[in-house]
Amino acid sequence: MQAYRFALDLTAGQECDVLAHAGAARVAHNWALAKVKAIMDQRAAERSYGLPDELLTPSLSWSLAGLRKAWNAAKPDVAPWWAEVSKEAFNTGLDALARGLKNWADSRKGTRAGRPVGFPRFKSRRRTTPSVRFTTGAIRVEPDRMHVVLPRLGRLKLHESARKLARRLDNGTARIMSATVRRDGGRWHVSFTVEVERAERVPARPDTVVGVDVGIKHLAVLSTAELVDNPRHLVAAQQRMRALGRALSRKIGPDRRTGRRASKRWQRAAARIGRAHARVANLRRDGLHKLTTRLATTYGTVVVEDLNVTGMLANRRLARHIADAGFAEIRRQLAYKTGWNGGRLLTADRWYPSSKTCSGCGAVKTKLALHERQFVCEVCGLVLDRDRNAALNLAALAAEFDTAGSGPAAARGADRKTRVRGQVAEKREPGTTPVGQTGTVLPQGRTIDRVLTKAH
C-alpha cells in the first residue's frame, strides 16, 4: 500500500462542494457520538437503579456497520439534505468515530500499546480540519494527468501532474483503493491510497552496513563519516512567525465567552500564520524524504536507535529543536523504504549505550555529559566525535545481530548493566550468545524492522 498526494486547484464552487461533504462527515460523526453517549449514560443510570442487565436500554453497536445502520434510519429527520452529498461523506464521519471508540475501548482494557486514548470528542465546525474520504464510485486520473474525477465532486484540476501514478495505472501495476480530500495549511490536497505491485530492488551497496545517529547539531551522523546538516527550518522561519503572531494579536479575534466572532482581518492573519507553518512542514518533509530515500537505496543494512522522543521533548531547552528535526519521522520512513528497496532496517535497543561505548575497544563509560562533544576513551586512548562514535557502534551491532553463516546473535540490551568506567567489554566469538530477537527473519527484499531486545 502506497499513498500519492497531489495539490488541487479548486474553483469557488468546487470548494463549496468539498466543504459541504466535509461538513456532512462532521454532522454524522457528532450525531452518532451523541447517540452513543446518551445510551451509555442511560444504561449507567438504569444500572444504578438496580435493574438487571437484560432490562437495560439496548446498547448501540460501535462498529461501522452498526453506526451506519442507525444513521440510515435517522438521517431523514437529522439531515433532510442527505441526498445532496455522497454517502461516502457520512461514512467518513462514522468510520472515524468507530475507530476512535475501538481505540478508547482497547486502551481501557490494556490491549492497545502506547499512551492512554481518551473518549472521542465532538468535532467543531471552526476548529476541525475539513476532510472527506471516498472508497467507492468513480475514482480515476484523467488521460491528461492534470485532472482527477471523484464521486459527486466531478472533475477536479491538479496543481501538478499525476504522471507517476498514471504510469502505474496504465501499466496495470497499481489499483486505487480510496481517495481523501483534505485541506492543509490553507491548501486542498487529494491523497490516493494505492495497492502497488512493486518490482524487486537491490540497494546500490547491498553488503554495506551503515549506522545512523540522529542529533540536533547534525541531523544525522553516519558511520561512514558523512555529516548531514540540520537545516532547522523552524528556527529560520521563527522571526517571520513572530511578526505574524504580533500582527494577529492586534486584530479582533473570536471570544467564546461572549460569542464574538473573529473579524475578516483576523481570519486573513490567521491564514497567513497557517501557511507559514505549512511551509516549514513541507520543507522538513522534503528534506527527510530525500535523506531516507538516499540511505535506503544505497545501503543494504541501516541501523538506527529506538529513541524516546516523547521523553526528550520534556527538556524545555531542546524541545523545539528536537521537534524541528523529526527524529521519529526518520525511523518511520526508513522502516518502509528499506523494504521497498531490498534492504533491511535494524533498530537498536532504547537503552543501548551507543554514545558511552568506545568503538575501538568496547569499554563503556559510566557517565557522559551532554556537553562533552568529544569521546575520549581512558582505556585505549581513542579520541573521536561522540556522534561518529555512536554511529560506529550502531553499525557494529549488525554483525552481532546477524552474523554470516551462524544466524542471528543477541545484541547488548536494556538489562545489561553499564560497565564501570574503564572496564573493557567481554570479547566473544560471533554467534555464541543466545538469540534475543523478536519476530522472524524475512528474506531479502521484504520489510525488516527487527528490534534488538534484551539479552538473555
- Kindly give, in sequence order, each residue whose CB lies less than 8 Å from that of residue 31, ignoring residues fewer than 6 positions away: 71, 74, 78
Give pLDDT, residue 93: 96
Segment 202-220 mean pLDDT: 92
Q: How deeply is 188 buried, as exposed, middle or buried, from its count of CB atoms within 10 A (0-12, 13-18, 19+)?
A: buried
Contacts (Cβ under 8 Å, ≥6 apart) of 73: none
pTM across the whole model: 0.81
How many whole angstroms separate alpha carbon 168 and alpha carbon 155? Answer: 20
Q: Of the ranges 53-57, 268-272, 397-401, which one carries the lowest mean pLDDT score?
A: 397-401
* pLDDT for res 31: 97
pLDDT of residue 210: 93
pLDDT band at 269 (very low <50, low <70, confident <90, very high): very high
158 strand-pairing partners: 8
φ/ψ of 167, rounded to 5, equals -65, -40
Please, are residues 408 and 448 in contact by the beta-carbon 8 Å criterion? no
Q: How close are the terminal C-alpha atoms of the chain, in Å?
A: 36
* DSSP β-bridge partners for residue 352: none
Length of the chain: 456
Closest residue by Cα to residue 21 from 106, 120, 119, 87:
87
Grid coordinates representing 35? 447517540
- The mean per-residue pLDDT over the stretch 293-297 comes to 95
Grid cell digits, residue 154? 466531478
The mean-pLDDT minimum among 17-21, 183-187, 264-268, 425-429 falls in: 425-429
- Residue 422 in this model has a pLDDT that exceeds 80: no
Q: Which of 129-133, 178-182, 213-217 has the lowest mean pLDDT?
A: 213-217
Q: What is the band of 212 on the pLDDT scale with cuts at 50, 70, 90?
A: very high
How sure is the predictor about 402, in pLDDT bands with cuts at 50, 70 and 90?
low
Higher pLDDT, 296 or 115: 296
C-alpha cell at 417: 548493566
DSSP element (H, E) containing 254? none
Position 148 pLDDT exceeds 90: yes
pLDDT digits (tens, 9 = 90+) for 230-252: 999 999 999 999 999 999 999 99
| Owner of C-alpha cell 470528542 | 121
Continuous H helices in 79-142: 87-109
Look up cell 475501548; give the residue. 105
Q: What is the dihedral of CA 316, 320, 322, 323, to 10 degrees?
A: 120
3-state secondary structure 360-421: CCCCECCCCCCCCCEEECCCCCCEEEHHHHHHHHHHHHHHHHEECCCEECCCCCCCCCCCCC
Query: Residue 114: which of 126, 106, 124, 125 has the closest Cα?
Result: 106
142 vs 455, residue with greater confidence: 142
Is-contact 140 182, C-beta < 8 A? no
Q: CA nearest 442: which of 350, 348, 343, 349?
A: 343
State residue 115's pLDDT score. Answer: 86
Predicted confidence (pLDDT) per residue in 97-134, tens digit:
999 999 999 999 999 988 899 999 999 988 899 999 99
Pairing assessment for the beta strands 449-451 and 344-348 based on DSSP bridges: parallel
- Distance from C-alpha of 228 to C-alpha of 209, rounded to nearest angstrom: 17
Q: Is the pLDDT of residue 445 over 90?
A: no
CA gap 136, 248 in Å, rounded: 42
Instruction: Flag whether pLDDT at 80 surpasses 60.
Output: yes
The reported pLDDT for the residue numbered 400 is 78
Measured CA to CA, the distance from residue 404 to residue 407 in angstroms comes to: 7
Q: How is the chain split into domains, by residue range?
A: 2-10+130-196, 12-109, 205-231+275-451
Count CB neighbours of 55 within 10 A.
9
Residue from 303, 318, 254 nearest 402 by CA: 303
User: Residue 27 belongs to what H/E stretch?
Assistant: helix 12-48
Residues belonging to the active site: 213, 305, 387
Mean of all residue pLDDT scores within the chain: 86
Q: Average pLDDT for residues 336-346, to the nearest whole number?
A: 92
Comparing 174-188, 262-276, 361-375, 407-421, the range with the smallest average pLDDT is 407-421
